[in-house]
Amino acid sequence: MYQIVKAEKLADKIYLCVVKAPRVARSCEPGEFVIVKLHEEGERIPLTICDFDREEGTVTIVFQTVGASTEQMASLKTGDSFRDFVGPLGNPSDFVKEDIGSLKKRKYLFVAGGVGAAPVYPQVKWMKEHGIDADVIVGSKTKDLLILTREMGEAAGSLYIATDDGSAGTKGMVTGVIEDLVEKQGKKYDVCVAIGPMIMMKFVCLLTKRLGIPTIVSLNPIMVDGTGMCGACRVTVGDQVKFACVDGPEFDGHLVNFDEAMKRQQIYKDQEGRAMLRLREGDTHHGGCGYCGGDR
C-alpha cells in the first residue's frame, strides 16, 4: 500500500495527492508518469508526475475528475492509501539527458493549459535547479481553475497568465500570449513545450510552426492502460505509428496528427459515462443499457 501524506483540492474537480513511494521517487524524472490503482479490482490510471522529493521518498500527482475512478480518488484523504503506485513509466523529457551547457544557450517557453500545469511544473523546476531560465504561460478558462501558479512563478524566469474570461492575467487564449511575446515584444524562443488539452496543443503547434519555434507536446491525455498493450494511445507522428505511453509521452508537436488523436480520445467517452453512472447510482443501478455489466 502507498500512503497519501497530503491530499488537497486545488480547484473545481482538480485534486493533488502527495504519495509515499520511495522507489518511484528515487528514479523518476520530469516527463514520466505513474500508474495508480485504488484497490485490487480498481482501474489502472496513468498520471504524469507533478513533483517528487527523493529525500522524503514522495511523489506528487494531480488529477481531474473525468470518470468513476477519479471521482472515487477525489474523496481520498491524508492517511488513505493507493493499492498500487507503479513507475516511473514512459520516457523522461529529452532535455534531462542533454548537456547543461548546451541547454543554457537555448531559450525555453513552456505553455500549460488547465491541468497541464501539473506535468509542466517539474520541467520548469528542473530548469531552475540547473540554472536555466525559462518563460512560462499558464492558461485556464477562469482564475478559479488556475493551479500551481505560485510554484510556477518561483521556478519560471517570467510567468504569464491567460484566462478565457479575463478574470486573471491576459484575456484570451495562450496562443494570444505567444503571439504578443514573439511578434510584439520581439522575444526569441528556441524551444516551446506545450502541455494541456489536445485542442490547445494543436493550436499552439499550428502557431509555433508558423513562427518557426520547434515544439514538444505531451500526449498523456490519450493514455488509458499505460503499458502499450491496449493500443488506446496509438498516434501518428510524421509517417510513423507511435504509442504515447511507451514511445512518449512527449513528441515533436509539429509532426503529431492531432485530429486523429482527438478522435481516438472520443472512443472511450461512452465507457467513462457508463462507469460514472454505475458509481453514482450504486445498488440501484440495474444495468439496463446492456453494455456496462451492471446487470450481471
Using alpha carbons only, give the angle 215, 219, 225 rounded to the nearest 5 degrees: 160
Q: Model confidence at 11, in pLDDT bands (50, 70, 90)?
A: very high
Q: Which of 102-116, 181-195, 235-249, 261-275 has the lowest mean pLDDT?
A: 261-275
Same-domain check for residues 231 and 117: yes
pLDDT at position 285 is 38
Same-domain check for residues 158 and 193: yes
Same-domain check for residues 175 and 221: yes
Same-domain check for residues 84 and 124: no
Number of domains in the chain: 2
Query: Edge-to-edge strands of the sheet including 33-37?
Result: 81-82, 2-11, 14-20, 58-64, 45-53, 33-37, 84-89
Same-domain check for residues 226 and 129: yes
Q: What is the CATH number of the domain that holds 126?
A: 3.40.50.80
Same-domain check for residues 38 and 126: no
pLDDT at position 188 is 95
User: What is the extent of the structural domain holding 135?
Assistant: 94-265
Question: Percent of the chain having pLDDT more than 90?
Answer: 66
- What span, in angstroms and rounded, lies between the C-alpha atoms of 184 and 181? 6
277 domain residue, yes or no:
no
288 domain residue, yes or no:
no
Per-residue pLDDT, averaged over 55-64, amounts to 94
- What span, in angstroms and rounded, lies between the C-alpha atoms of 111 and 213? 13
Query: Is 191 strand, coil or helix?
Result: strand
**In the chain, where do the E strands start and end?**
2-11, 14-20, 33-37, 45-53, 58-64, 81-82, 84-89, 108-113, 134-140, 158-163, 170-171, 191-195, 215-218, 234-237, 240-243, 250-252
Amino acid identity, residue 3? Q
Same-domain check for residues 170 and 73: no
Q: Model confidence at 46, in pLDDT bands (50, 70, 90)?
A: confident
Q: What is the CATH number of the domain that holds 80?
A: 2.40.30.10
Same-domain check for residues 256 and 119: yes
Same-domain check for residues 126 and 206: yes
- What span, in angstroms and rounded, lies between the C-alpha atoms of 137 and 197? 14
21: left (phi over 0), alpha (psi -120 to 50) or beta: beta
Contact call for residues 115 and 14 (beta carbons, < 8 A): yes
- CA 162, distance to chain mean position in Å, is 18
Same-domain check for residues 71 and 150: no
Residue 267 CB neighbours (<10 A): 11
What angle do the packed helices 198-211 and 258-266 form, to 10 degrees?
Answer: 180
Q: Which residues are bridge partners to 240 per DSSP? A: 237
Contact call for residues 200 and 113 (beta carbons, < 8 A): yes
The last residue of one of the domains, among 89, 104, 130, is 89
pLDDT of 282 above 50: yes
The last residue of one of the domains, among 41, 58, 89, is 89
pLDDT at position 271 is 52
Same-domain check for residues 138 and 243: yes
272 domain residue, yes or no:
no
How would you class 284 by CB atoms within 10 Å of its CB: exposed for 0-12, middle for 13-18, buried for 19 or more? exposed
- What span, in angstroms and rounded, lies between the C-alpha atoms of 22 and 59? 8
Same-domain check for residues 141 and 235: yes
How do residues 184-218 score in pLDDT, each as one tens digit? 999 999 999 999 999 999 999 999 999 999 999 99
270 domain residue, yes or no:
no
Using alpha carbons only, give the angle 205, 206, 207 rounded to the nearest 5 degrees: 90
Per-residue pLDDT, averaged over 76-97, amounts to 92
Q: Model confidence at 232, in pLDDT bands (50, 70, 90)?
A: confident
How would you class 186 by CB atoms within 10 Å of its CB: exposed for 0-12, middle for 13-18, buried for 19 or more? exposed
User: Of 4, 21, 20, nearest to 73 (Cα)?
Assistant: 4
